[in-house]
Structures are given as structure tokens and as C-alpha cells.
């Protein structure tokens, strides 16, 4: 498992606050902030199951989206 450093480059004339907001948005979209919050304290088995059940629809929706895109590309390639 390779570790990548997450970051943003401060653009010319951009305030540090704006760059920090972009960084937080990027980390939040990747789920890193939620994982950090979760790892701060012990999570019981029941809490873990509840969290997994709560996020399952989102994971399945993303999985279906990417599977259907790849399937449609494969079908187009086979038709040609």
C-alpha cells in the first residue's frame, strides 16, 4: 500500500484561508476527515455495523455507477 501526500498548491494571489478550504474539501470528498475522526476513539462492533449500514447505499451507488459505465463502454466496443 503506497502512501500519498495529500495537498494543494497555493495559487498566485490566493489567500491561505481559501487554499485551506480547498484542502478540507478535497480531504472530505476522499473520506479522509471522516476516517480521522473515527480513529480518534475506540469504535465498538455495534457502532461499526451501524456506520457500515449507513454508508452502504452510497458505496453501492458508486459501485453501480462505475460498473454500468464500464459495461456500456464494453458493449459499444463489441458492437463496433
Per residue in 6-53, pLDDT tens?
788 888 999 999 999 998 888 888 888 888 888 888 889 998 899 889
Phi then psi for residue 15, to 5 deg, are -75, 155
pLDDT given for residue 18 in this prediction: 93
Contact status, residue 33 vs residue 27, Cβ threshold 8 Å: yes
Contact status, residue 8 vs residue 26, Cβ threshold 8 Å: yes
Residue with cell 495529500: 6
Q: Is the pTM of this model over 0.85?
A: no
Note the pLDDT tens digit of each residue in 57-80.
Answer: 877 877 777 676 666 666 666 666
Contact status, residue 33 vs residue 24, Cβ threshold 8 Å: yes
Amino acid at each position: 500500500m503506497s502512501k500519498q501526500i495529500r495537498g494543494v498548491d497555493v495559487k498566485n494571489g490566493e489567500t491561505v484561508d481559501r487554499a485551506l478550504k480547498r484542502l478540507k474539501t478535497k480531504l472530505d470528498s476522499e473520506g479522509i476527515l471522516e476516517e480521522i475522526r473515527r480513529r480518534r476513539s475506540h469504535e465498538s462492533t455495534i457502532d461499526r455495523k451501524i456506520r457500515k449500514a449507513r454508508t452502504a447505499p452510497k458505496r453501492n451507488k458508486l459501485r453501480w455507477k462505475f460498473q454500468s459505465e464500464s459495461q456500456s463502454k464494453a458493449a459499444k466496443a463489441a458492437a463496433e
